[in-house]
Amino acid sequence: MKPIAIGADDAAWEFRSIITNHLDSLNITWVDFSSDKQPDNRYYPDIADAVAMAIKEDKFARGILICGTGIGMSIVANKVPGIRAAQCHDTFSAERARKSNNAQIITLGARVIGPELAKKIIDAWLNSEFEGGGSSVKVERIDYYQNQHLAN
């Protein structure tokens, strides 16, 4: 598996450590795009865009973005054509984000969920793969509408 891209803003630096320690315990390699790792101390939109672009460029297969709520990171990552980011605060949503929507990025809210739940959410997401089947047509339809809007 390619390394995981991870990014956190100032609201989530401590939470990020919990996630990266968990990834380490699973022997998963990760690369940190977080704002405290950047020379210009970027804002969450910059971090989300950098992670999403790195995934679009196939440098990483998946990404984990963390801010206070997970909302802002999700909004920004989904602006990158071809990227599907899902804000998840439970294991079922994390699993379905991969299986049904082929989400390459998961976003989490450091102020919304606790550390143990976050680990379970990450596990559910990492252990799920896109099922294809009937979901393929729906994901293709997402891409269709994205392309329609980009053309206008």
What are the distances in angstroms from CA 18 to CA 21, 36, 74, 126, 142?
5, 16, 20, 16, 33
Decide: 64 and 88 in contact? Cβ < 8 Å. no
Measured CA to CA, the distance from residue 36 to residue 50 in angstroms comes to 14
What's the chain's Rg over C-alpha atoms?
A: 15
Task: Mark whether 88 is an active-site residue.
Answer: no
Residue 102: closest CA among 133, 73, 70, 79: 133
Inter-residue contact 94 to 124 (CB < 8 Å): yes
Cα–Cα distance measured from residue 122 to residue 20, given in angstroms and rounded to the nearest whole number: 11
Structure tokens at 63: 């990404």
Which candidate in 12, 67, 103, 126 is catalytic? 67
Catalytic residue numbers, as ranges? 67
